Structure 1
Amino acid sequence: MSSQVSTVVCCFVCGATSNLQRCSKCRGIYYCSKDHQKKDWKRHKQSCKETEATNCNASSFEQKFGRSYNNQLDPATFTSEGSSESEILSAAGELLGGTLSPVLNNNIEEVVSKGKKKALEVVQSSVPISLNMVQPKTKNSKYFPAVTLIAPIDHHIKDEKIESMCQNIIEDLSTYGVCVLDKFLGDEEGSQILAEVLNIKEKGALRDGQLVSTKGKGKEELKTIRSDQICWVHGKEKECEHIGYLIGRVDALITRANRMVNNGKLGQYNITGRTKAMVACYPGSGTHYVKHVDNPNRDGRCITAIYYLNMDWNVERSGGLLRIFPEGFPIVANIEPFFDRLIFFWSDRRNPHEVQPAKDTRYAITLWYFDAAEREQALRRYQKERLAVAKSNST
């Protein structure tokens, strides 16, 4: 039997239903007179200010991220499915070696299972954010020697611009939970990265993405949830020099912003590692990813970074819109996957999101950054579970 709940608008103090006036600041509570509003002000004051701030942020959110729709978010309405823990752990290990081997890449779980020692190493590892990945490029030489994080990352980009991007990341993540940076590397470098991604695809290195839980789901059913094809790369492979350069640039921004003074909500995390880069392709024909959370189970990922590689993309014609449903806002962020666009958002339950059906082939590269403390706790849980399973299988 279903039950219906009716809502009656009335004075908060006396319950009267006539001659009502709404609080002009928060717009969320009613009174029948000024006297009753004053009487309730001591109790209502704090929540009124918080609601007013949220409404103000929602307005600026809408201006910043364009078109918006009502965000009637009910936890039961989205599928809490991100990349599986085994996929993230495998991607953090050194399983691919120095080249893109389609055979090895498509059989990661088989490789892990071949040796308990190797599997344990994978469990314990994440890719450290290395200064060796932060290397500026010139036209005359591929790379300069490694530089410190406070130096300019690229000789064409002034330190003031890096500082500005870091400030944008800090302010937008703290205020909205989402940050968008356009024209991040420029057309020339972005085109080189796209060429490497197309080469990965041509080599047959892409495989179907995994989910947190696959129990009871067939292959076709899984594709109704997530139908992208992916490949994990380190950035040091000979076929991925430009992807490696992108990784270094994003590493530098995140690491620098995380260590800046007055770093907002970023200051709650100690970011020292990340996953490998996930190269993703939605091959058109309605491929998509339903509403989900990247890190629903506290696996250590705190920031999702996505770089888009889609030239002349038109959402009305090609679909593939990223829609984020940020916690605490009555609206959503609609983000077009434009070429050379870099975005950041919190990876946990604050940001359920979806990739709407793509009619044309859509490319992106994703990195997940780990909070050291949460990641350590997650790995202990995972290691304990794996050892318990191994012990159970041996008896």
Structure 2
Amino acid sequence: MPVLCPPSNWDLELLARQRVVPALRTHGFCPVDGLLGAAAGGAVLEQVQEMHRAGMLQEGRLASPAAGLNRRNARGDRIVWVSGSELGAEAVGFLLGLIDRLVSVCARSLGEGTIRERSKAMVACYPGNGAGYLKHVDNHNSDGRRITCIYYLNKDWDATEHGGVLRIFPEGKPYVADIKPVFDRLLLFWSDKRNPHEVQPSYADRYAITVWYFDSEERAEAKRRFRALTESMEQSSSSSSSSSS
């Protein structure tokens, strides 16, 4: 694996202040090209492809499937969750560390001081069989997700031939934004209802790595609601069992 050299903190500060923060404030999303460079980005791609070859990627699930909605019609990707600390995921871990630093700088500038944690990385492949993901919102029920970051790994991607465009429908805007999943591109956008989006059908293997950054207060409240719901269901089940005995 090549030696991976991260940009300096000054570079990340400049990127955040001049590009990412203004774009998030104005449009709600921001693509950044050439994040890692050919060598480091290629190392990430090699590791993701090896995960795919090894059979590690499994069908993604729908968080809240609508009644009568077929999973395969709604979401066609195959995924695996990684922390970046696993053997064979060192380059992925390097990428995550860089995104962590960038988002931290952006959060301070945006006044989002409660962004202090993130998910594991979702490594995904849409197989080239027309697989896509219907229009949805990442955080539709106040689950704590605040910023979505997607890193794309697709060399020589031709959207006319290969499809796979991420289309964003920014809330209140008179336009849509089509983001091509090209190699070494990072996309950042607000995870809530401000950015409904879809993955259009892909006709070549389409690789991406996604992480979500959480608002710690909203995340804690979501966990409290989940615990309360779980306890209520357990009590209800216990009461039903007692009544029937």
Q: What is the TM-score of this pair, normalised by structure 1?
A: 0.58
Q: What's the secondary structure of 1:380's corresponding residue?
A: helix
Identity percentage of aligned residues: 46
The one-letter code matched in structure 2 to 1:189 is A
Q: What's the secondary structure of 2:230's corresponding residue?
A: helix
Say if 1:216 and 1:251 are closer, same or farther in 2 by CA, change over 3 A: same
Map 1:267-282; keep pairs closer than 5 Å.
267-282=111-126
| Alignment of 1:294 onto 2:138 | yes
Q: Which moved more, 1:361-370 or 1:164-173?
A: 164-173
**Paired residue for 2:65, among 191, 214, 226?**
214
Q: What's the secondary structure of 2:140's corresponding residue?
A: coil
For the residues of structure 2 that align with 1:214 and 1:161, how far apart are their CA atoms? Answer: 41
Partner in structure 2 of residue 93 of structure 1: none
Partner in structure 1 of residue 229 of structure 2: 385
Partner in structure 1 of residue 74 of structure 2: 225
For the residues of structure 2 that align with 1:344 and 1:394, how far apart are their CA atoms? Answer: 45
Partner in structure 2 of residue 360 of structure 1: 204
**In the TM superposition, what is the alpha-carbon distance from 1:276 to its structure 2 partner?**
0.2
Shift >6 Å, 4+ stretches = none
**In the TM superposition, what is the alpha-carbon distance from 1:216 to its structure 2 partner?**
4.7
Q: What's the secondary structure of 1:320's corresponding residue?
A: coil
The one-letter code matched in structure 1 to 2:58 is R
- Are the equivalent residues in 2 in contact too, given 1:300–1:371 (CA < 8 A)? yes
The one-letter code matched in structure 2 to 1:298 is S
Q: What is the TM-score of this pair, normalised by structure 2?
A: 0.92
**Paired residue for 1:164, among 14, 31, 35?**
14
The one-letter code matched in structure 2 to 1:165 is L
Q: What's the secondary structure of 2:116's corresponding residue?
A: strand
**Paired residue for 1:318, among 149, 162, 168?**
162
- Are the equivalent residues in 2 in contact too, given 1:269–1:372 (CA < 8 A)? no
For the residues of structure 1 that align with 2:234 and 2:124, how far apart are their CA atoms? Answer: 32
Query: 1:324-358, CA deviations, whole angstroms, 9 ceiling, x for partnerless residues?
Result: 01012100111100000001000000000010000
Map 1:1-395; keep pairs closer than 5 Å.
139=3, 154=6, 157-167=7-17, 168-214=19-65, 216-217=67-68, 221-259=70-108, 263=109, 266-395=110-239
For the residues of structure 2 that align with 1:226 and 1:249, how far apart are their CA atoms? Answer: 29
Q: What's the secondary structure of 1:278's corresponding residue?
A: strand
Partner in structure 2 of residue 105 of structure 1: none
For the residues of structure 2 that align with 1:213 and 1:252, how far apart are their CA atoms? Answer: 31
Partner in structure 1 of residue 242 of structure 2: none
**In the TM superposition, what is the alpha-carbon distance from 1:268 to its structure 2 partner?**
4.0
**In the TM superposition, what is the alpha-carbon distance from 1:247 to its structure 2 partner?**
0.4
**In the TM superposition, what is the alpha-carbon distance from 1:393 to its structure 2 partner?**
3.0
The one-letter code matched in structure 2 to 1:182 is D
Q: What's the secondary structure of 1:238's corresponding residue?
A: coil
- Are the equivalent residues in 2 in contact too, given 1:299–1:374 (CA < 8 A)? yes
- Are the equivalent residues in 1 in contact too, given 2:2–2:40 (CA < 8 A)? no
Which structure 1 segments of 5+ residues have no match?
A: 1-136, 143-152
User: What number of residue pairs does the alignment pair up?
Assistant: 238
For the residues of structure 2 that align with 1:215 and 1:387, how far apart are their CA atoms? Answer: 24
Query: In proportion to residue count, which structure has more strand?
Result: 2
Which structure 2 segments of 5+ residues have no match?
A: 240-245
For the residues of structure 2 that align with 1:301 and 1:180, how far apart are their CA atoms? Answer: 19
**In the TM superposition, what is the alpha-carbon distance from 1:314 to its structure 2 partner?**
0.4
For the residues of structure 1 that align with 2:95 and 2:112, how far apart are their CA atoms? Answer: 25
Partner in structure 1 of residue 243 of structure 2: none
**In the TM superposition, what is the alpha-carbon distance from 1:394 to its structure 2 partner?**
3.4
- Are the equivalent residues in 2 in contact too, given 1:309–1:363 (CA < 8 A)? yes
**In the TM superposition, what is the alpha-carbon distance from 1:213 to its structure 2 partner?**
2.2
